[in-house]
Amino acid sequence: MFVIFGAAGNVGKASAAALRRAGRTVRAVVRNEKQGEFLAGIGCEIAVADLFDTSAVARAIEGAQAVQLLCPVPHAHTDPADAMRHMIDASVAALRAAPPQHVLALSDYGAEHESGTGITTLFHYLETQLQTVDSRLTFLRAAEHMHNWARTLPTALACGVLPSLHHPLSKRFPTVAAQDVGLLAADLLLDDGARQGSPRVVSIEGDERVSALDVARTIGDLAVREIVAREVPRDQWNAMLQGAGLGELYARLITDLYDAHNAGRIDVEAQSSERRFGTTKLADVLAAILPRVAAAARTAEAAR
């Protein structure tokens, strides 16, 4: 039995589908039954679990040979970092009580740093806590997800301007498609070779690095209009993020993250990880997202 947490997300769905294609039994863990409809359709067993509840996590992993663990940042909480640490503690307690043979944790570039990296420090905490579990451990550290640009697409399409926290605009940074992360995760779960000692650390990014200028150009090509990248001044970050509905502490996690990005601290830990490269292009990811964003914009305009 392969247990996939966060199975309704872009990464988890790709992992679950790949494992089913390989003929494996999959239990897909979701937050509610509706999220499980597609997964049930491809033959997954569905489990509904609250990751803050150790007993619910314990039921979800019962009988598991391998577990793919995703602890998402709970951005709706007043203190997302504290909430995520509680989520991690609950999940780790369940895994420690009934350790499966293999645990693969979805982590981030920069997770080797204990502090000073905003959201990424939470993945450092995840990796550290999991090392108390008596399982074979794999940490799959992914670069920034290409899907994250969906958040700024409405602004880009409405105003012709792509706001960027990546400074300078010409700086090239690693990014990756969520489906490539999910497919690699499934491959790593299926790799049942015996490994002892330290956790296996695997990094994944796309086959070419991009800049904010590249992202704007790609959106413009797809939308058939000019899109200009704009560097958001550092002193405007908090106001912009909170104006978009983010809480103060979540906004701080993001500003700290991009400060670390711009200082070059969020990158592959080349000496300690196996490097893999996805094949999905940024244009392919944005082309899939763009119609939904454009349709939502048209609906909002019609409702005014």
Report the pLDDT averaged over residues 154-167: 94
Does domain 2-143+176-206+267-279 bear CATH number 3.40.50.10680?
Answer: no
Q: What is the dihedral of CA 286, 287, 291, 293, to 10 degrees?
A: 10
Percent of the chain whose predicted confidence (pLDDT) is above 70: 97
**CB-based burial of residue 175 (10 Å sphere; 0-12 exposed, 13-18 middle, 19+ buried)?**
buried
Q: Are 276 and 202 in contact (CB under 8 A)?
A: yes
Report the pLDDT averaged over residues 38-63: 96
- At position 150, the amino acid (one-letter code) is A
Cis before 168? omega within 30: yes
Percent of the chain whose predicted confidence (pLDDT) is above 90: 87
Question: Which pLDDT belongs to residue 302?
Answer: 63
Question: Which pLDDT belongs to residue 298?
Answer: 72
Q: What is the dihedral of CA 74, 64, 66, 17, to 10 degrees?
A: -70
Report the pLDDT averaged over residues 273-293: 93
Report the pLDDT averaged over residues 82-104: 97
Question: Which pLDDT belongs to residue 197?
Answer: 75
pLDDT tens per residue, range 258-272: 999 999 999 998 777
Confidence check: pLDDT of 207 > 80 = yes
Report the pLDDT averaged over residues 29-57: 95
CA distances for 64 relative to 2, 14, 24, 58, 99, angstroms: 6, 19, 12, 10, 9
The residue ranges of every structural domain in the chain are 2-143+176-206+267-279
Mean pLDDT is lowest, of 36-45, 135-144, 269-278, for 269-278
Question: Which pLDDT belongs to residue 272?
Answer: 75
Other residues' Cβ atoms within 10 Å of the Cβ of residue 257: 22
- Residue from 22, 1, 6, 73 nearest 186 by CA: 22
Average pLDDT of the chain is 94
Question: Which pLDDT belongs to residue 294?
Answer: 76
Question: Which pLDDT belongs to residue 221?
Answer: 96
Confidence check: pLDDT of 194 > 80 = no
3-state secondary structure of 156: helix
pLDDT tens per residue, range 168-177: 999 999 999 9
Confidence check: pLDDT of 196 > 70 = no
Question: Which pLDDT belongs to residue 270?
Answer: 76
Mean pLDDT is lowest, of 53-67, 180-194, 226-240, for 180-194
